[in-house]
Amino acid sequence: MTTLNEDVQRTAVPDRGPIAAIRRGWARFDAKHHGIAEFIMFFIVCNAVTVLQLVLMPVFKWLFGLTPAGRHELPGAAGRP
């Protein structure tokens, strides 16, 4: 059975370049401070999901506004004469 660090080192990423340097640095940090690295990844993923939701909300509102059901006003809606 391989560890996550061994799997990261075996991936098809070139040995040089900025991405490879970041991956090597992260693998070293993960080996030394696994719990903190796990929390950092959790924090990054949660914030990325939140940002994605904030970006998609106006997009979905716009898309649903293009549908026939989205063009009529509901009873009690603001701006109704």
Rounded distance between C-alpha atoms, residue 31 and residue 42, angstroms: 17
User: What length is written for the chain?
Assistant: 81
Rounded distance between C-alpha atoms, residue 67 and residue 46, angstroms: 31
Q: What pLDDT sits at residue 63?
A: 87
Q: What pLDDT sits at residue 4?
A: 61
C-alpha angle with apex 62: 58 to 66, nearest 5 degrees?
165
Q: Break the chain into its structural domains and give their ranges.
A: 1-32, 42-69
**Predicted confidence (pLDDT) at residue 1 exceeds the cutoff of 80:** no
Tens digit of each residue's pLDDT (9 = 90 or more) over 32-56: 999 999 999 999 999 999 999 999 9
